[in-house]
Structure 1
């Protein structure tokens, strides 16, 4: 049996063992301010609620509308025990009394979400809104709440950490720099915790210090050669995903989310296979350019679900894109020196590189199957929010 055949069989054999989530855990909180009340909508992933309070009561691996509806009181109790709102004036702060109005289900790019519609009654006028957010606190420290705050004067957005510490937002004079910084941090978080984007980047970077000659990987002769290859690959990936991220976030390009997520998994698989069976060798930047267009559509889903108007969406888009690039550069800065130093060793070229590609291929196969044929949430009977 040839070496390539052994690696391919290993890749296929380990596929069922591999499982990671793609999109970091987020909820979407929309608050519309009136004189003495707040109308709210809170979208929380059903998988997150299942993790926290257990929605899948019959343990069949799917969450039905019946199970969600029967758990409505538990969902409301859990959610609103992790959200406190306050209207803060010049001389006093008034806690808001929250009451749920309706429970629906809506589809987001990464699956089904419970949609909690609610009212919050607050006395007095407010100069600032205080929000203490702690959803999934103690269960997932990486979870975030993405906030859209709307008033008659303006709209603003924020990223809420689940620490439970109150965050204050100025209703009349939003801090644009604070909002930009929050979305820069969110972009970094999504490239670091978006495992499919991260591993696709690895499939581009790991071969940058070697070259395929005479049937095997050989070390590149100099740091300059490796650096040029890295710059080409990273620049192409950045250009491509920045383009489609912008177009999709602004609503100019729109593809079904299941198709996008499945195609992203396929790009990861093809990147891994190209290490095991090198077809595209010296022009891997073309892979980065073509496949990066697909990854940008995946990044855009985070911003599209916020429902911001064009002006505020542009601000969030700029910050998020900067964050993605900074996170990407940090990965390159950490990974590439070690990989370059290892490039001449037989261990790297004959073991680490193919084994890493095999592991990445495992995950990609798992993602491709579960995204194309999702089984976690039963769609039959789920009323969706119009």
Structure 2
């Protein structure tokens, strides 16, 4: 029997199908499995959220185009299974989250410079890899700590700001980070900016996690897995960006084309997001 209805996850409304399935040979034919493929051929970002009970055990899973199947065995509902599923979703979200990526990249662009005096034209290419890595580490750590705090607080329902407020501020944070590279003061306050606005980005991550649905009996593993996935995806971006930036740091192309021109371009893109999210 199927009962069709709607369900709220985060601030979004989703189609919900409640089914009761009778499987008389479940104990003799081996573990049951379920396949979900609705809309996958039309939308690669579509996700199916599974919540099921079988033999007194609750099961939760995120079904996606690359993982459309779920096996109802003991290991599927375990800590590491839930953790790995939400880990993948965390990685995927940061990789498709252009606003989060551009915020982080904006703050990392000047990390291969050393300041001689205020202003971009008075910065010189760093000759010490260690100092640049420390600068990168400061930004990434501040961003990680900040968004982890608000992600956890939101999931635990300690605080829950509306998405209509959070999303415009995230867009504004990208503008601040990008234009900060062109100012005399903000360019050397990057880790502070990363922490301050990282708190807001954490609310954005929490909104995505709420949309995915959280298993009440595996809340810790889902939260941990998603957060670790975000961090892994973030570190992968940094690992790709930094060697290129370090190699090009002494060139006029990097200073004026990438840092100066790129920061202006990012600010323009984020301004469009801000207008769109406020409208």
Query: What's the TM-score once normalised by structure 1's chain length?
Result: 0.64
Structure with the largest fraction of strand: 1
Residue 118 of structure 1, CA deviation: 4.2
CA distance, structure 2, for counterparts of residue 348 and residue 159 of structure 1: 41
Match status 1:315 vs 2:221: yes
Residue 171 of structure 1, CA deviation: 6.6
Q: Return 316-325 or 139-148, whichever deviates more.
A: 139-148
Quick one: structure 1 residues 285 and 172, their matched pair in 2 at CA, closer, same or farther if it must change by over 3 Å?
Answer: closer
Q: Deviations over 1:289-318 (max 9, x none)?
A: 111111111111223241432x41111001
Q: Deviations over 1:204-233 (max 9, x none)?
A: 111111245353143223212211101111
* Aligned residue number for residue 377 of structure 1: none
CA distance, structure 2, for counterparts of residue 278 and residue 129 of structure 1: 62
Aligned residue runs from structure 1 range 1-386, under 5 A: 99-102=2-5, 104=6, 108-109=10-11, 112-124=12-24, 126=26, 128-150=31-53, 153-163=56-66, 165-170=68-73, 174-212=77-115, 213-215=117-119, 216=121, 217-305=123-211, 306-309=213-216, 311-373=217-279
Residue 108 of structure 1, CA deviation: 4.3
Kindly tell me the number of residue pairs found equivalent between the two proteins: 272
Residue 114 of structure 1, CA deviation: 4.1
Aligned to 2:188, the other structure's residue is in SS state coil
Q: Deviations over 1:8-55 (max 9, x none)?
A: xxxxxxxxxxxxxxxxxxxxxxxxxxxxx6xxxxxxxxxxxxxxxxxx
Report the structure number with the largest CA radius of gyration. Answer: 1
Query: What's the TM-score once normalised by structure 2's chain length?
Result: 0.87
Tell me, yes or no, if the aligned pair for 1:135 and 1:162 is still in contact at 8 Å: no
Structure with the largest fraction of helix: 2
Which runs of no fewer than 5 residues in structure 2 stay unpaired? none
Aligned to 2:135, the other structure's residue is in SS state helix
CA distance, structure 2, for counterparts of residue 315 and residue 107 of structure 1: 19
CA distance, structure 2, for counterparts of residue 190 and residue 165 of structure 1: 18
Residue 131 of structure 1, CA deviation: 2.1
Q: Deviations over 1:124-143 (max 9, x none)?
A: 26464422122332333344
Residue 281 of structure 1, CA deviation: 2.8
Which runs of no fewer than 5 residues in structure 1 stay unpaired? 1-36, 38-98, 374-386
Tell me, yes or no, if the aligned pair for 1:242 and 1:321 is still in contact at 8 Å: yes
CA RMSD between the two structures: 2.5
Aligned to 2:276, the other structure's residue is in SS state helix
